[in-house]
Amino acid sequence: MRHTMRALNILAAFFCLAEAKRIPVEQRRKVVQSFSVRRNASSDTTPLQVGNGNFAFGADITGLQTFKPFAIMNTWGWHNFSLPTTPGQTSVEDYTGLEWWTHGRLVSYEQPNPAQNDISNWLRENPHRLNLANVGLHFGGHKVVESDLEETTQELDMWLGKLTSSSKYKGSKIEVQTWADSKSDTVAVQVQSTLLKKGDLGLFLDFPYPDKEKFNAPFVGHFNLTAKHQTTLKQLSPQSAQIKHTLDDTTYYTRIQWEGSEATITGPLNGTHRYILTPKSSSKIQLVISFSPTPNSSKDKTTYHQITTSSRNWWKSYWTKGAFIDLTPVQSDPRALELQRRIIQSQYLTAVNSASDYPPQESGLVNNGWHGKFHLEMNLWHTLPFARWNHFDLFHRSLPHLYTDLLPSSLSRAAKQGYQGARWGKMTDPVTGRSSPGEINSLLIWQQPHPMFFAETDYLSHPTLTTLHKWEDILTQTADFMAAFAWWNASTGVYDLGPPLYPVSENTNPNVTLNPTFELAYWRFGLDVAIKWKERLGGQKAPGVWGRVRDRLAGLPVVNETYATYEGIRDMWLAPETTFDHPAQAGIYGLLPYSPQLNLTVVANTARRIKETWRLEESYGWDFAMLAMNSLRLGDVEQAVEYLLHPIFRFDDAGYAVGGERVPTPYFPNSAGLLVAVGMMASGWVGDEGVKLPEQWVREGAVGEGFVVAL
C-alpha cells in the first residue's frame, strides 16, 4: 500500500511537472485580474478585504471604514465578559454539564444545564472574537455621509492584494490605497488629496466594545459603549503613536506610523474612543497601522513601501505556486465564466479569511458567527482546499498542531465520559480549547475521524517518516476513542454507533439516531487509516480492537435500495423531515475515498433520490459541493456543474458566499467546498486520476494544472 501511495504520488507530481508550462504566469495574471472586483457604492452586507489568513481588514467604498463599520479581525484578538455572579455559578469549574443515559450508563456531556443557565451561557459566549478597530476618513468634524461623495469607484486587484478607492468630496478628489502585510497584523494605507494639505481631511481611529449575540453580522461590536472600556494615546515619535486598548482583562496595542506628511494625533473625542490624525504639510500621507498583544517597541520602522512589496510578493507567489485552472477559453457555455469567477474570488477570500494558524470561523475574518469560535467538524472543508490546490504551507499553518494543542482537553473529555483516547470537541476557540456547551455540540461525532482524513491527505503528498511521526500520537488517541465509542451489540453481533448522537444533518432525535450512514463509513475509513499508519511505521501492530471495530461495524443502512440517513429512520424520502439539511449519504462516495463496502448501484439510486426529493432550498453551503463531488465520481459531470451553479448556492459580486436562510453572510464552507469540488474536477482522485471537466470545455481549451488528486 505504501508503495502504491508513493507511486501514485510520483505520478501526480509528474503530471504537475509535465503540465507546468500549460498556464504561464502571464496567463494566470490575466485571468486573476479579469475578475478584479469593482464597486461604486458600499455593500450593505460585505466589505472588500485585504489580509493574510490571520489578519484581515474589511473596507467600505472609501477603502477604509468611513461609513460602514466593517471589521478588522485576526487570530489572537479575543475577549471575555465578566463571569456571572450567581451563587454557585461564578467559575468555570462550577459548570457540570448534563448526564444522559448512554448504553446503560450515565455519561456527562458538555450541554447547557438548566440549573446553571448563567454559567452555561457564559461558556458559550466566551471568549469571543474582537473587532480590533475602525479606521476611516475624517472630514474635519463635518458630518459627511456616503451620498455626499461623488464619483465613488473602487477596485480590488487580487493579483497584488491591492484595494484602490477613489471619490470626490466638494469637487476635490480623494484617492486611497489599502494593503495588508503578508506576515503580521498590519495594514498600510495611502491617502492622496489636496484636502489633506488644507486641513479639511484626516483619518480617525475608533475602538468598539463587543456584543454577546451569537451572530454579529454584518458588523462586529458597538462604538457607543464607551464607559465599558478604556483607551490611551502615547506619542512614540513625531511620526508615530500607540493606542492602548483595554477591555476588561484583554489589552492590545495599535501602533500608527506615518510618512510623507507631518501630522498630529489627538483624542479621544469627548465621550468616544475616537482619535483623529490630522496631516498638515502634504497632499499625500502613508500610514502603517499595526496591532499586537504587547507593546510594539520594534525600532525597525516597517515602511509603507515594505508592506506593499510584501503583499505583491505573497500574492504573486500564491497565484503562481499553487494549482490553477483556466476556463476562460470556453465560449459556448456561459457557466464556465461564472464558475471561473467563483473560483478566483474564492481562492482570494479563503487565503484572506481561512488560511489561519487555527481553524477559521464560518464567516472568516469578515464578521462573527457563533461568537467568533470555530467548529472542528467544519474544519475539514476549510482546510482541505489548501491541500488540493497545492498550498501545503497554508494547510500546515494549523495542522497538525491544532490537534496537539487540543489533545489534553480531548483526552480529559473522553476520560470523564469513560472512554479511552481523545474525544475532540466541537465549537471551540484557540484560547481555552473548551467545547462550548450545546446539545448538538456535545453529540455530533463526524469531527472525530478528521485527523485521519488530514493525515492521509498529508501523506499522499508527503509520504515520509516525518509525516508519519507528526500525526502518530494524534491518530492513536483518535482511534482509541473511536474504537471505544463503538458499542458491541450482542444481539446483532455488530458494533453500533449511537444512540445518543447527532449525525451530520443535525435534524434528528439524538436518542433514536443509530448507525448513521456517513458516520459508519467514516469510522471505518478512520480506523483503517490508523491501522495502516501503524504498518507504515515499520510494521507496528495496531491494537486489535481497532481492526475488530472496523471489520464488524454495522452495515450501512439501506431503505428500498438507497442509503438512509440512519438505521431505522421512519419514512425515509417520504416525510419532509427526512429530506432536508445536509444529505450526508452523498458524502460516503463524494467525499470519502472509494471503499469496496459500497454498493455503487445503491450509491447511484441514492444520488437520484436526493435529486428528486431533497429540499435543497433549505440546504446550505458545502452540500452543493459534496453533491457535485458525488456526481463526479458517478461519472455525471453535467450534474456536477449544475450543482456548483445551483440557484441556492450563491456568491455575491465580490465572491462572498451568501449565507441564505439559515446562516448569515458570508459562509466560507461554501467557498472551500467549491474549491475542493473544482480540484476534483480538474484532477480526479486516487484510482481515477485525470481531468473530469465537461468534454466540450476541454475541447475549447479549458485547462488545469498543479492539483493534488483527491483521496
Ligand X SMILES: *[C@@H]1O[C@H](CO)[C@@H](O)[C@H](O)[C@H]1NC(C)=O
What residue ranges bind ligand X (CB under 6 A)?
A: 40, 78-80, 92, 100-101, 126-127, 184, 186, 222, 224, 249-250, 255, 257, 270-271, 288, 290, 292, 296, 298, 301-302, 431-432, 489, 491-492, 509, 511, 559-561, 567, 572-574, 599, 601-602
Q: Using CA atoms, how far apart are residues 443 and 506, in angstroms rounded to an integer?
A: 10
Which of residues 332 and 511 has its CB atom nearest to ligand X in the complex?
511
The minimum distance between CB 554 and ligand X, in angstroms, equals: 7
Question: In which region does residue 404 sit, left (phi positive, over 0), alpha (psi from -120 to 50) or beta (all else)?
Answer: alpha
For residue 164, the cross-strand partners are 155, 177
Which of residues 257 and 639 has its CB atom nearest to ligand X in the complex?
257
Sequence-distant (6+) residues with CB within 8 A of 455 are: 400, 467, 471, 474, 475, 529, 533
Q: Using CA atoms, how far apart are residues 352 and 315, in angstroms rounded to an integer?
A: 10
Which of residues 213 and 551 has its CB atom nearest to ligand X in the complex?
213
Which of residues 156 and 710 has its CB atom nearest to ligand X in the complex?
156
The minimum distance between CB 599 and ligand X, in angstroms, equals: 4
Which of residues 60 and 567 has its CB atom nearest to ligand X in the complex?
567
Sequence-distant (6+) residues with CB within 8 A of 635 are: none
Q: Using CA atoms, how far apart are residues 70 and 47, in angstroms rounded to an integer?
A: 6
Which three-class secondary structure state does DSSP give residue 277?
strand
Which of residues 268 and 279 has its CB atom nearest to ligand X in the complex?
268
Question: Which residue, among 368, 345, 359, has the nearest Cα to 665 in the 3D structure?
Answer: 368
Q: Are 421 and 414 in contact (CB under 8 A)?
A: yes
Q: Torsion angle of alpha carbons 173, 311, 664, 588, nearest 10°?
A: 150
Which of residues 293 and 547 has its CB atom nearest to ligand X in the complex?
293
Which of residues 29 and 168 has its CB atom nearest to ligand X in the complex?
168
Which of residues 492 and 540 has its CB atom nearest to ligand X in the complex?
492
Question: In which region does residue 419 sit, left (phi positive, over 0), alpha (psi from -120 to 50) or beta (all else)?
Answer: beta
The minimum distance between CB 245 and ligand X, in angstroms, equals: 13
For residue 99, the cross-strand partners are 108
Which of residues 76 and 403 has its CB atom nearest to ligand X in the complex?
76
The minimum distance between CB 433 and ligand X, in angstroms, equals: 9
Q: Using CA atoms, how far apart are residues 276 and 264, in angstroms rounded to an integer?
A: 8
Which of residues 3 and 299 has its CB atom nearest to ligand X in the complex?
299
Q: Which residue is nearest to ligand X (CB)?
A: 127
The distance in angstroms from the start CA to the end CA of the chain is 13
Axis-axis angle for helices 517-536, 450-461 (nearest 10)? 50
Which of residues 96 and 489 has its CB atom nearest to ligand X in the complex?
489
Which of residues 331 and 511 has its CB atom nearest to ligand X in the complex?
511
Q: Torsion angle of alpha carbons 533, 537, 541, 545, nearest 10°?
A: -20
Residues composing the chain = 711
Which three-class secondary structure state does DSSP give residue 363?
coil
The minimum distance between CB 270 and ligand X, in angstroms, equals: 4
Look up residue 156 and give its DSSP letter. Answer: E
Question: Which residue, among 361, 372, 326, 333, has the nearest Cα to 347 in the 3D structure?
Answer: 326
Which of residues 149 and 672 has its CB atom nearest to ligand X in the complex?
149
The minimum distance between CB 155 and ligand X, in angstroms, equals: 12
Q: Are 566 and 516 in contact (CB under 8 A)?
A: yes
Give me the amino acid identity at 101. Answer: W
Biggest CA-to-CA distance, the chain = 86
Strands 128-129 and 105-109: unpaired
Which of residues 99 and 333 has its CB atom nearest to ligand X in the complex?
99
Give me the amino acid identity at 2. Answer: R
Give backbone dihedrals phi and psi of 417, rounded to 5 degrees, phi first: -90, 0
The minimum distance between CB 491 and ligand X, in angstroms, equals: 5
Which of residues 90 and 194 has its CB atom nearest to ligand X in the complex?
90
Q: Using CA atoms, how far apart are residues 312 and 177, in angstroms rounded to an integer?
A: 13
Which of residues 67 and 324 has its CB atom nearest to ligand X in the complex?
67
Give me the amino acid identity at 648. Answer: I
Q: Are 704 and 683 in contact (CB under 8 A)?
A: yes
Axis-axis angle for helices 334-353, 304-321 (nearest 10)? 130
The minimum distance between CB 464 and ligand X, in angstroms, equals: 33
Number of H helices, E strands in the chain: 20, 30
The minimum distance between CB 98 and ligand X, in angstroms, equals: 7
Q: Torsion angle of alpha carbons 181, 186, 191, 195, nearest 10°?
A: 180
For residue 163, the cross-strand partners are 156, 178
The minimum distance between CB 183 and ligand X, in angstroms, equals: 7
The minimum distance between CB 247 and ligand X, in angstroms, equals: 9
HEC readout, 580-643: CCCCHHHHHHHCCCCCCCCCHHHHHHHHHHHHHHCCHHHCCCCHHHHHHHHHHHCCCHHHHHHH
Look up residue 246 and give its DSSP letter. Answer: E
Sequence-distant (6+) residues with CB within 8 A of 427 are: 124, 370, 373, 374, 375, 376, 435, 436, 438, 441
The minimum distance between CB 223 and ligand X, in angstroms, equals: 6
Which of residues 54 and 467 has its CB atom nearest to ligand X in the complex?
54
For residue 255, the cross-strand partners are 242, 290
